[in-house]
């Protein structure tokens, strides 16, 4: 069996999460089910990667080479908890392309080897995006050479890692309906230089470079009650790609969750079913919870963060098409949310483990949903 056929067949889970209001955070329950109490796990509790594997689901996190090499304690916990590794920056253009004619795979290869040595799947993030570009991009890429440069990048990078990458985020964040295009696409350099067909060109090139990897369209802001237009535009893009027989296999939903912003369970469930009906798998690719709206008190804050995890997971993990859950980081020691600084200057606590590598209530929220999931 080809590896892509295997990952396409991965099962998923359905969790029985918390449906508890917090200080008027939402006015109605997300599910008609009793609340599930959250408590701190024991030190010897099964790691998340094992709980996920028991349901034929993948759990993992994003990280960087420098965190793993400079912090052996963090590296050991990452090895224990994670069955998937997403390079946070090492496979973006800015890191791979020091000059227009050079590729530097040193850091990416190190992470690929680390993942293989620890029986982790490796995700490729990301091939085509309007951010994470090198300084030379603006002066060297134009409408005359953009197609060749994009295809060269995809063919070289995907070809280099062929056989080692579980899934590639081929195109990242291409939808932005507020730009008022009829097709809902984001006005970015790729669209301006190549037109809307740049998306299908990217997927076709990635499929040619590695026919056995899972090819993903990855998008942000699909989760909340306010995201109707974004969901509709994303679904329309997926429908167009499928109608053209573009080799796309999955939708990546980032899941950057914000405190006190409502998740409409029925809308989200409907969207997931519509994506699944297209024959696509779904990956939760960048999950975390911003805690800037919550109290400074750590116990209160951790509980509210955990309840958001549970609310979200008890919706998305009921959809059988979901085959992976990846948090954007594992420990509060290393987070990208520093730019979400709290007004009280307290350190953010968005992830499953704290800065001392202790499992938090957020870890319990994820674990509870994994345990409650039917095996696929």
Residues with catalytic roles? 173, 286
By the 8 A CB rule, do 352 and 330 touch? yes
Question: Which tokens sit at 221?
Answer: 């802001």
Question: Which tokens sit at 190?
Answer: 């790729």
């Amino acid at each position: 069996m080809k590896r892509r056929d295997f990952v396409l067949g991965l099962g998923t889970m359905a969790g029985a999460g918390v449906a508890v209001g917090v200080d008027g955070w939402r006015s109605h329950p997300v599910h008609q089910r009793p609340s599930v109490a959250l408590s701190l796990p024991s030190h010897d509790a099964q790691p998340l990667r094992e709980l996920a594997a028991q349901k034929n689901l993948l759990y993992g996190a994003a990280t960087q080479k420098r965190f793993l090499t400079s912090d052996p304690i963090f590296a050991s916990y990452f090895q224990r908890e994670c069955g998937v590794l997403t390079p946070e920056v090492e496979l973006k253009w800015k890191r791979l392309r020091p000059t227009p004619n050079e590729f530097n795979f040193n850091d990416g290869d190190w992470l690929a080897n680390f993942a293989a040595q620890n029986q982790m799947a490796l995700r490729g993030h990301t091939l085509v995006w309007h951010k994470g570009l090198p300084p030379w991009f603006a002066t060297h890429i134009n409408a005359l050479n953009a197609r060749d440069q994009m295809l060269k990048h995809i063919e070289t990078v995907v070809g280099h890692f062929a056989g080692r990458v579980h899934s590639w985020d081929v195109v990242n964040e291409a939808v932005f309906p507020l730009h008022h295009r009829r097709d809902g696409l984001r006005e970015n350099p790729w669209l301006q230089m190549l037109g809307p067909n740049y998306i299908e060109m990217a997927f076709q090139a990635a499929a040619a470079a590695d026919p056995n990897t899972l090819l993903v369209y990855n998008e942000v802001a699909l989760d909340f009650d306010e995201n109707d237009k974004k969901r509709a535009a994303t679904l329309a893009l997926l429908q167009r790609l499928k109608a053209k027989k573009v080799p796309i296999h999955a939708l990546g939903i980032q899941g950057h969750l914000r405190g006190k912003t409502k998740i409409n369970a029925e809308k989200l469930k409907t969207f997931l079913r519509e994506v699944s009906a297209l024959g696509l798998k779904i990956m939760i690719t960048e999950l975390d919870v911003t805690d800037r709206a919550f109290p400074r008190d750590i116990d209160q804050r951790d509980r509210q963060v955990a309840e958001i995890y549970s609310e979200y997971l008890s919706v998305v993990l009921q959809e059988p098409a979901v085959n992976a859950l990846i948090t954007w980081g594992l420990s509060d020691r290393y987070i990208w949310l520093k730019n979400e600084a709290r007004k009280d200057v307290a350190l953010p606590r968005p992830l499953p483990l704290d800065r001392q590598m202790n499992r938090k209530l957020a870890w319990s929220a994820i674990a509870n949903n994994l345990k409650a999931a039917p095996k696929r």
